[in-house]
Copies of this chain bind each other. A is one copy, B any other.
Amino acid sequence: MDSTNFTQDELDGSLQSGENQAIKKNDQEELFHIFTYSENQYREIKIKEADEIDDLRDSQSITWINVDGICQENILTKIGSKFGIHHLVLEDILDTTQRPKVEDYENYLYIVVKMIYSQNQSDEIISEQVSLILGDKFVISFQEEKKGDVFEEIRNRIRLGRGRLRKAGADYLVYALLDAIVDNYFLMVEQIGDQLEELEDELVDHPSSKILPRIHFLKRNMIFFRTSIWPMREVIGSLERREFPFIEKSTVVYLRDIYDHITQLIDTIETDRELISSMIDIYLSSINNRLNEVMKVLTMIATIFMPLSFIAGIYGMNFRFMPELYWKWGYAITLFTMGGIALIMLFFFKKKKWL
């Protein structure tokens, strides 16, 4: 067990080094990342065994336990019994296909949400289930995978004592975690919006058959986001209405802020969906228009050359008695007639606006 324990005064100047220190000492297998903090001090520890947690809590501070990679059932069971968590909740934490929801138990509040982010500026979108247990002066967050998260900024706020976070209660920490998650949704949804706009321009300028699968792909992503975001609205809504005892009154205004953000996200997604359905209309009509154009070319060619070939065919017949064949200007007249027919056809197409 390695711990970093500072008072606020020591810390202010030396965050960077302190953080490095913490990271260097810890190895891969440290699944528990624990913060205990109060207004004036904080402690940051990474440990391997759930048993060590007990020593860290005290009645003054707020404890935030972040558990990465919730694959090991026995670890979960240990924590569960330590904090008195219902076995159904533990099952839900393990089952990473949960729908976002909030559930009230006697001693704690259980919240499941989806964290969506892309790491290292790559295109790959990672969706992780995050389960939060909000109890009396503690928060436990369970992450599906060890890859990373969107909470680094919150950790820094605890370390630096920036903002309200160190002064406020555990419910404010839950707010901060949820806010970080929702803010990342915005990034994702904006990314989709940008891609949509790009596709829209391309659709008007040079529509190709490759656009539809891309539209479909965006639609897919959007349906997927919506599935995560819609139930989050209910979650935040019921938190904001303070249906649960663990939410303090002063936090409500912050939760209302998240609620507004989610409503806005939903608006954006619905708008995007309408745009997509309108784009599909345009795409389909552009295909039809292209077909129309191809057919016009074919029809023009056929309409001009079929009569001409027919005339040539007539004078290619081998009848003995075809007086025109013996006229001196027969050939020339025929050629002129053909040219005339071609011109008439072109004029007809012009009038029909095919050209």
Contact = CB atoms under 8 A, between A and B. Distances in A.
A302 B297 CA distance: 10
Interface in A333-355: 334-335, 354
Given A86-B253, A227-B267, A305 B310 contact: yes
Interface string A271-302: 10011001111111111111110111111011
Interface stretch (A26-34, A114-122, A320-328): A320-328
Contacts of A326: 320
A196 B101 CA distance: 27
A219 B312 CA distance: 54
Q: Chain copies in the assembly? A: 5
A319 B309 contact: no
A313 interface: yes
Contacts of A296: 294
Contacts of A88: 253-254, 257
A320 B310 contact: no
Given A302-B302, A320-B330, 20 more contacts: A88-B253, A212-B281, A219-B274, A220-B278, A223-B274, A224-B271, A231-B263, A280-B281, A281-B284, A284-B285, A284-B288, A285-B287, A291-B291, A291-B295, A292-B294, A298-B302, A308-B313, A312-B316, A316-B316, A317-B331
Range class of the A interface residue count = 35 or more
A154 to B, nearest CB: 17
17 contacts: A98-B260, A99-B263, A99-B267, A213-B282, A216-B278, A219-B274, A220-B275, A223-B271, A224-B271, A288-B288, A295-B298, A305-B310, A315-B318, A318-B318, A319-B334, A321-B328, A321-B331
Contacts of A306: 301-302, 305-306, 309
A209 interface: yes
Interface of A: 86, 88, 92, 97-99, 101, 103, 204, 209, 212-213, 216, 219-220, 223-224, 227, 231, 253-254, 256-257, 260, 263-264, 267, 271, 274-275, 278-292, 294-299, 301-303, 305-310, 312-322, 324-331, 334-335, 354
A256 B97 CA distance: 16
A267 B107 CA distance: 30
Contacts of A280: 281
Nearest to A272: B223
A313 B319 contact: no
A338 B134 CA distance: 83
A199 B53 CA distance: 49
A339 to B, nearest CB: 12
Contacts of A264: 97-99
A278 B91 CA distance: 34
A257 B103 CA distance: 10
